[in-house]
Amino acid sequence: MRIAITGASGQLGGALAATLADGHDLILLGHDQIELGDPRVADQIAVTDADLVIHPAAYTNVDGCARDPERAYRVNALGTKYVAMACRRLDAPLVYISTNEIFAGDASRPYLEYDSAAPINTYGRSKWAGEQAVRELLRDFYIVRVAWLYGGERNFVRTVLRMAARPPAGGLLMVDDEVGSPTYGVDVAEGVARLIATGCYGTYHLVNSGACSRYAFCREILRQAGHADVPVAPIRLADYRRDSTPPPYTPLANIAAADLGVALRPWQEALAAYLATLA
């Protein structure tokens, strides 16, 4: 299959390119080739002659989105609309990568694929608008929600390891009342590869199974990396000042993809696999 991938040099885009390189003809569209905020991106994608478009590119700086909502909407909402318009012209299905942050985070159980979206910050609203554009313009699409990704050059795991190498006086401070699904990008990429082979369009949650707080995630990273002695203290989300407000509780339940035989391993196992690549 001829597959175009946006954000190909990003964390997930890179993992998708590596996973799909075997057996597919890839067109890698990095930020140096396309600008999602420019309507002409639709023409650029339409001329690729792709059979399928995968769209992980986004303005992912959640605090930056809070400071610059117009940029967030231009890139994440309008940009996704242009990508969907290109798919219409190509008559090709689209895989749109979305986020746990489309949910409010006030549930008492993990979010199912069909729970109602109610984003509470600009990033989440812009990504939800991207989902809406896909649903309005296309018949053939996969919307794949992921969460708490790691695997690229800059991510939470690497930040914790860097801090552990030189712990600040008093130890690390980690939020204990933000809960989510830590997820290895390589596992998502493999899940997407298996999902597109099914031809079963729809909305999916592809995350490593299980959930934890940022504090528990940090403790597990330190434990597995042999730094269990580094002190970590729990703090409240309300005490961690930042421009964006994350939804506090957004574990994602995978029902729809699991029914097709696509489910990702527990987050602790995925973390171990990632740490092994850094060793």
Ligand X SMILES: NC(=O)c1ccc[n+]([C@@H]2O[C@H](COP(=O)([O-])OP(=O)(O)OC[C@H]3O[C@@H](n4cnc5c(N)ncnc54)[C@H](OP(=O)(O)O)[C@@H]3O)[C@@H](O)[C@H]2O)c1
Alpha-carbon span 29 to 132, nearest angstrom: 23
**Residue 83 Cβ, how far from ligand X at the closest point, in Å?**
10
Q: Is 146 in the site for ligand X (CB under 6 A)?
A: yes
Binding mask 124-143 for ligand X (x = CB under 6 A): ---x----------------
Q: Is 247 in the site for ligand X (CB under 6 A)?
A: no
Report the amino acid identity of residue 63: D
Answer for which of 3, 4, 5, 10 binds ligand X (CB under 6 A) is 10
How are beta strands 141-146 and 2-6 bridged, if at all? unpaired
Alpha-carbon span 170 to 142, nearest angstrom: 46
Pair of tokens at residue 271: 């973390």
Total residues binding ligand X (CB under 6 A): 26
Answer for which of 86, 97, 174, 232 binds ligand X (CB under 6 A) is 97
Q: Is 45 in the site for ligand X (CB under 6 A)?
A: no
In the region spanning residues 74 to 93, those forming contacts with ligand X, defined by CB under 6 A, are: 75
The answer to whether 181 and 247 have CB atoms below 8 angstroms apart is: no
Q: How many residues does the chain have?
A: 279
Q: Is 179 in the site for ligand X (CB under 6 A)?
A: no
- Closest chain position to ligand X (CB): 10
Using the minimum distance from each CB to ligand X, give the nearer residue, 32 or 91.
32
**Residue 154 Cβ, how far from ligand X at the closest point, in Å?**
8
- Cβ-Cβ contacts under 8 Å for 19 (sequence gap 6 or more): 186, 189, 190, 192, 193
Alpha-carbon span 232 to 227, nearest angstrom: 11
Closest CA to 70 of 30, 37, 41: 37
Q: Specify the DSSP class assigned to residue 279.
A: -
Alpha-carbon span 58 to 66, nearest angstrom: 14
Answer for which of 9, 48, 159, 244 binds ligand X (CB under 6 A) is 9
Answer for which of 3, 57, 92, 120 binds ligand X (CB under 6 A) is 57
Using the minimum distance from each CB to ligand X, give the nearer residue, 100 or 122.
100
Q: How many CB atoms lie within 10 A of CB 233?
A: 11
Using the minimum distance from each CB to ligand X, give the nearer residue, 68 or 167.
68
Q: Is 250 in the site for ligand X (CB under 6 A)?
A: no
Pair of tokens at residue 267: 């987050």
Alpha-carbon span 67 to 243, nearest angstrom: 7
Catalytic residue, from 111, 123, 150, 184: name it: 123
Answer for which of 152, 167, 210, 234 binds ligand X (CB under 6 A) is 152
In the region spanning residues 258 to 277, those forming contacts with ligand X, defined by CB under 6 A, are: none
Using the minimum distance from each CB to ligand X, give the nearer residue, 64 or 167.
64
Check if 240 is active-site. no
**Residue 233 φ then ψ, to 5°:** -115, 140
Q: Specify the DSSP class assigned to residue 101.
A: G
- Catalytic site positions: 123
Q: Which residues bind ligand X (CB under 6 A)?
A: 7, 9-13, 31, 34-37, 56-60, 75, 97, 99-100, 127, 146-149, 152
